[in-house]
Chains A and B, each alone.
Chain A
């Protein structure tokens, strides 16, 4: 199922005011639940996509917005409307500056779409001229880089989303 088909499906559900919808077709599984009525609580917002080939969270977020926007403030990227099993978040263990490459001008350690092993270096966070190699603690696919090169990083900040290999 591509993004256009998904969008059409969601528009169809809105048009017909269908609150809940589930579809299984081969290895593609789509479940959409939308807060259609005015009484819908925010926690009923739910949108999940499990499919192969994988759908990236950015792609899933786009069609999700019109579904929930009727009753709740439009979720921002941070509000993480995407709920996906096996999605592992790699966080920074220190305060510092984020570097995606071993040195300026060098190619990045990893980019979205790359497969990584547990223990593989994803980036460097520098504090006080101490270079901290941040490793992936799971094996799988790098789905998203959540920060930009040179950005200041807080303790515990989310750096990468990795879809765990099962």
Chain B
């Protein structure tokens, strides 16, 4: 049996992001491996989106390094971006464009040749074969998320970044999206997922990094985190219904105070 660890697709080392004098991300380090779903959790304003934005190249980071599939994001930003697929927090495409046109636009931007057959296959895969000529704004939230997710993998990237992909979805759409995210993992992509849903993190993620006040507090598998903290007095104090969950561990580690 091969015990070798899968290759690291994303390496974040001592990442620091600062807005003026405010340090949003302080020496954050983690790595994400091939075929792994890594959950980045944290309360509002903890530094999750800043960390993701730095990886995506949307904001400049002051120090540290981000390497995507071996490409340093600062030195080779286009290579790093080409190696990743991104689903941003708010799905944002030109509302005038039809679903098929949006897929063609992003295929072109990622240098993927999209034949009509391939386009039909993609639309069928996301159960939108009848909505090809619908404008993006006419789709339901769940359908928009499916389009957004399929665009993030249209070029078969090594790394897929999903920023709160299930926010606002009904339970059926959420479950379906989980299955799609797991299918992305099965195809060998490395996935980084941010979410506020502990249920989602526990169900979908292979490993979790909890970030607060710009720092990574802990990284482990959901089960290992629960196991490690289940007897902590703070965890027991916040647990409900006599069973320790990932949410109890999260609340105990990040505090009960509601963040802005």
**Does A associate with B in a complex?**
no
